[in-house]
Structure 1
Amino acid sequence: MIDSMSGIRTRRRQPGGGDMVLLQARVSPTAHEIVKDAATKSGVSIAYYVEALVQQLVAEHGALPQIPRPRPQKETLDIDIEEAPISAA
């Protein structure tokens, strides 16, 4: 079947039979090293470690914890739209 032969794969099968999707994130070098070291010490991949960590936190707390925003905005810019007309070039 042509549909199953697509060159773009967005889901993979987990060894247990469940679907897996790609999760990407940019983190600090320190955070990356901490996760990499924990995964290495556990004898698993970073992907498996993150998956297991999420499952463990959800099992213990019912959900992932909410965290504060990384950079709270301290002030707002007071711009009056009427005083700043937009003209076509």
Structure 2
Amino acid sequence: MIPNFSVDFFSDVQYEYMTAEISYKGQILCQISQDKGSSNMEIEFFHEQRIVGEQPKMKFPIKDFITLIEDVKGELSTYR
């Protein structure tokens, strides 16, 4: 896992298939869903959804985020 990021896989009643919620420093960042197929996953970004104490600065290396997204996509596709 990449430092400061966390991923929670869960079944959200709004979606037919398993989803993944990505947080950065405890602040929710986005949710990935696979209802349109494993090759057409969608990402929804959130802001100010769950404020935890002091708002963390949402700035991190693109390379880390892309790596994390690819890892999450791979794991999510196993739940389809």
Q: Same fold (TM over 0.5)?
A: no
Higher RCO, Cα 8 Å, sep 6+: 2
- Compute the TM-score of the two structures, normalised by the length of structure 2: 0.24
- Compute the TM-score of the two structures, normalised by the length of structure 1: 0.23
Greater fraction helix? 1
Which has the higher Rg, Structure 1 or Structure 2? 1
